[in-house]
A and B are shown apart, each in its own frame.
Chain A
Amino acid sequence: MSLAWATLALIIFLLPGVFFFIGLATYERLSREIIRSGVVSEVAMASAIAIAIAIHVIAIVVLSAVGFRFSQFVEPLVEYSRIDTDLFVQRLADRLMPVALYLFITTVAGFGLGWIVAVNIVSGRLRRLARHKWIYDITDVDRKGGFVTAFVMTTIIDQSRIIMYKGRLHDIFLGPEGNISYLVLRNCYRYYMTFEDGALTTSRQLELFGARQGARPANVWDRLFIEGANIANVLFDSSPEIKGQAEGKNALEAAFEQALARQAVQRGAQGAAT
């Protein structure tokens, strides 16, 4: 019996700490990866216990300030071996609702605290907690409505020419050590860099689909997959944040529909000409 009570008490005690990590993991994928790599570690377990203690202490201090006395609340239950079973059940039933309410509030507090920490890791204030900090700059641009252009220098060299690609970053897969396993780009251009007279120069950027790229229908897509082993380095270039998205939605949709209609007419005219 006492073993069951101890287990129950331990679970109740740890709930805020456990939900802190759940809150941390719900904000976005990167936070989940932090948890996945750390939740089984001793540090994470120690953190969960420390957070649980902190939340319980704060909760009890707040309750004490409004007249609650923990000893008076628990003492009648401790006497369970000396009192009648019906009386014990009655005392237990009387305390179920307050206990459930306490658990709910402390668990929500743990979840909320975890969520706030995750937001601050991603937005920069607690970035030092992250292992690979640079990737958050990229996700932050995306979150704010911008995009990131990647200039990829490949390891493919022909004489003094190095094949390069430019495109809008769509997917990036990071390995456990923070290395790029692969990149997926959209709206791609190809060009090359040369060594000439000790200077690096780049050629004209050409669309991968040539002159047809702009004439492709809007409902088709392109992706350029670049294996990490073929990447020498990448320059990530962020765009400005796009604001006023709610206000500009109508203008965007109207221009988009007009563009689709105009491009359909153009394709029809080009088809008739050929």
Chain B
Amino acid sequence: MLITMKNAELIDKLVVIADGNFDLVQQALLACADGADGADLTKVVEYIEAHRPAFAPAQSVAAA
């Protein structure tokens, strides 16, 4: 049974906005999450834009 994630397009765009930094997208969702209600998309985009490194593409060094 193959299960494919259907929500890929939205996350792909967020990753592009984050200059390929997937960790930043994760961080944005966690930071913008409002309890059990989830994270508002507009706030997530704003968070990524505010925390994205200025020019060079980001490199992740997050710990597991």
Contacts and interface: CB of A to CB of B under 8 A. Distances in A.
Interface string B4-35: 11111011111111011110001001101100
Interface string A188-219: 01010100000000101111001111111010
Contacts of A248: 40-42, 44-45
Interface in B27-64: 29-30, 32-33, 37-42, 44-46, 48-49, 55-64
Interface string A45-74: 000000000000000000000000000000
Interface size grouping (class) on chain A: 35 or more
A37 B29 CA distance: 37
A243 to B, nearest CB: 4
B35 to A, nearest CB: 9
B17 A173 contact: no
B57 A168 contact: no
Interface string A140-175: 001111111101000000000000101111111110
Nearest to B30: A240
Contacts of B22: 167-168, 187, 189
Nearest to A235: B64
B3 A255 contact: no
B45 A252 contact: yes
A87 interface: no
Given A145-B10, A240-B39, A204 B61 contact: yes
Contacts of B16: 218, 256, 259-260, 263
Nearest to A218: B16
A245 B29 CA distance: 13
Nearest to B38: A241
A205 B62 contact: yes
Given A145-B7, A259-B17, A260-B16, A174 B1 contact: yes
Contacts of B3: 29-30, 135, 138-139, 171-174
A251 interface: yes
Contacts of B55: 266
A242 B1 contact: no
Contacts of B46: 251
Contact of A252 (B41, B56, B61): B41
B7 A207 contact: no
B7 A202 contact: no
Interface string A252-274: 10011001100100100000000
Given A243-B41, A251-B42, A252-B10, 13 more contacts: A147-B11, A151-B64, A173-B3, A187-B15, A207-B20, A214-B19, A240-B39, A241-B37, A245-B41, A252-B14, A255-B49, A259-B16, A266-B55
Interface of B: 1-8, 10-17, 19-22, 26, 29-30, 32-33, 37-42, 44-46, 48-49, 55-64
9 contacts: A171-B5, A174-B1, A191-B64, A214-B20, A214-B21, A215-B19, A240-B32, A243-B39, A252-B45
